[in-house]
Structure 1
Amino acid sequence: MVSGTRTEVPVDDGVLSGLDFGGRGPDVLLVHGSGHNAAVWTDVAAHLVEHCHPVAVDLRGHGQSMLASSTPEQYWRDLGTVVEALRLDRPVLVGHSTGGYAVTAAVAAGLVDGAALCVVDGMVLDERAAATAAPARWQNPQAAEELRETFRYGWHATEQQMHSYIEQCVREAETDWLNAGSRPELVRAVMRRSFLRCSDTLYERRPSLDEIAVVSAPDPHAAMYPSVDVYMHIRCPITFVLPDTGFYAQRRDEVQTLVDVAANRELVEISANHNVPMTQPAELAAIVGEVVRRHS
């Protein structure tokens, strides 16, 4: 199984951590969603290396990237620097969940010249006026506590506590709403990468609640905003991957509308939950591979 070679990617104020999975052929940049990290793409990459060169990166505040966000746009603006630093040549950009918006915004802002986008259950569908109201739910203490209880984000754990929690997540994966169907070793790898040593004796579960709060409060007056108008700035082909039990399953018609307004867009529906990269890696890799074949 391909595990990826750890790589350090320089950005404006430090370095991000990444995984280079090797392979030959067109470059593919894989971008995870909130709470995940580069390791989530391991099984997808294993199917891609035969005909392309997949690379994944830990976004700010995630995985083994020590940098945190000081503005809500840094995490996706970094992608332009990442592509340049890794010398990726017109890569296909694949983004899952929040990573779907990250790759979309980076291309829309002209930071990345992407051959194509593949957005995996990470669409932005609301008009700006409606979208500006959504982030408020993450700015209250109750929401922060829910995230802490559900995912232990921001938790400081000893090495023993960390390993015990990781093994608990592996044991419970098959009945977990997000991880059901994932390979146990993949769950273990993703969870281990989500803990960053923060002192001689403690590890922090990434992301922190501060990271989530910063990223979840974009400027409503910014040129780029996580609302449906962002797609007006996209000229390259877009493939939207819509799982039938994912976050956007009930909004299929709205996704179809996005597809219908441009000839170089398509909707691909699959049977999966939100966590497509971990639960349906072979099927997702086949979709990405087809995008690479047609547009690189």
Structure 2
Amino acid sequence: MPPIHDERWPAAAGRRPPRDLWLNTGNGRFAARDFGGRGRDVLLVHGTGHNLEVWTPLVECLAGAFRLTAFDLRGHGRTEVDSIDAEQYWRDIGTVISAMGLECPLLVGHSTGAYAVTAYAADGGECAGVVLLDGFVLDVRRTPEEAAAWRLSRQELWNEYRYGWLARSDEMETYVGRTAAAASGGDGPYAGVPYALVEAVARRSFIPAREGYLRRPTLDDLEAVCRNDVSAPIYPAREIYRRLSVPAGFVFASRGNFARRRDEVRAVASEGENRWFAEIDAGHNLHMQEPGKVAELLLDHFGG
């Protein structure tokens, strides 16, 4: 994969363009991006259905204040390995940190990526801290059946997102254009997000496959990452925060997925030392809608 430089998001003065990388690991090959910059290593971890393109606006707002990196989660973007279960989802973070040569990085995760960085740190993974962008686990342990009960059906996911679609080239181009226009021009979770950014995220969600392009993640991938061993010590439940010993920021989106559970998120943030709570007036995709405000929080808490 050649180095990239997209004029829609020009490199800041004195900073080299970002470089796309292939990480060959014992767990498979991961697609990653080194955005450059100086200072503390930071690894950005996207949520379900997204890919590393979502971080471009935040990177530009930080203007090289950190050494910023990101990767496509398994089953997403250009990463070649598929999902196995929810545990592998977060265990890959250590694999990527090692492959990129990062030193005790700050981990910033969005949505499912926020849980992934929480689980990695809770399991003792080395990091300087975690910042959770509208991605929290606030309930007690559930059985796999209970955890899956609230999720959309395969048919609903297909109708809404076309996950797992094998499209022709022209079909892919039409889908990317329509998705970008509808998302950025609406009042949903992408309201106010530039068309070019939504287009870049949508385009990276397709990879060449057989005689067309495969829309990722697939429905099988989404089912795989819902598989949790209810007896495992690391589990997506509120108790996981008791295992955190590193600084942790809880960044709440006022119009996001947890809008009705603000007090619960604030309570979790107040239960341990070296934790902080911040609220941003944005939807679930706050790092794309309000990247400047997210950047300010990172600089205030970890920029020294």
TM-score of the superposed pair, with normalisation by structure 1: 0.93
Kept in 2: contact 1:59–1:65 (CA 8 A): yes
> Does residue 283 of structure 2 align to residue 269 of structure 1?
no
2:243 to 230, 233, 239: 233
User: Residues 106-255 of structure 1 correspond to what in structure 2 (within 5 A)?
Assistant: 106-110=120-124, 112-129=125-142, 133-138=146-151, 143-172=153-182, 173-175=184-186, 177-199=188-210, 201-255=211-265
Deviations 1:107-158 (A, max 9, x none): 1112x311111000001000114887222444xxx71111111111111101
Could you tell me which amino acid in structure 2 is paired with residue 273 of structure 1? Answer: G
> Does residue 33 of structure 2 align to residue 33 of structure 1?
no
Deviations 1:224-282 (A, max 9, x none): 11001111111001100001110111111111111221121111001000011211111
- Relative contact order, CA 8 A, sep 6+: which one is greater? 1
Could you tell me which amino acid in structure 1 is paired with residue 303 of structure 2? Answer: R
Could you tell me which amino acid in structure 1 is paired with residue 241 of structure 2? Answer: Y
Alpha-carbon distance in structure 1 between the residues aligned to 2:79 and 2:115: 19
Kept in 2: contact 1:137–1:143 (CA 8 A): no
2:76 to 62, 65, 71: 62
Any gaps of 5 or more consecutive residues in structure 1?
A: none
Q: Which moved more, 1:20-29 or 1:142-151?
A: 142-151
Deviations 1:82-107 (A, max 9, x none): 11111111111000000000000011
> Does residue 271 of structure 2 align to residue 257 of structure 1?
no
Kept in 2: contact 1:116–1:291 (CA 8 A): no
Alpha-carbon distance in structure 2 between the residues aligned to 1:24 and 1:212: 35
Q: Which moved more, 1:38-47 or 1:129-138?
A: 129-138
Kept in 2: contact 1:19–1:39 (CA 8 A): no
TM-score of the superposed pair, with normalisation by structure 2: 0.91
Alpha-carbon distance in structure 1 between the residues aligned to 2:143 and 2:247: 26
Q: Which moved more, 1:171-180 or 1:215-224?
A: 171-180
Alpha-carbon distance in structure 1 between the residues aligned to 2:67 and 2:149: 39
Q: CA RMSD in A?
A: 1.6
Matched length: 289
Q: Where is the helix percentage greater, Structure 1 or Structure 2?
A: 1
Secondary structure of the residue aligned to 1:133 is helix
Secondary structure of the residue aligned to 2:74 is coil
> Does residue 38 of structure 2 align to residue 24 of structure 1?
yes
Alpha-carbon distance in structure 1 between the residues aligned to 2:27 and 2:57: 31
1:92 to 98, 106, 114: 106
State, as a whole percentage, how many aligned pairs show the same letter.
Answer: 40
Kept in 2: contact 1:48–1:285 (CA 8 A): yes
Secondary structure of the residue aligned to 1:128 is coil
2:302 to 261, 272, 292: 292
Could you tell me which amino acid in structure 1 is paired with residue 280 of structure 2? Answer: I
1:148/1:175 CA distance change after superposition, 3 Å: same
Deviations 1:46-74 (A, max 9, x none): 12242111101100000000100123311
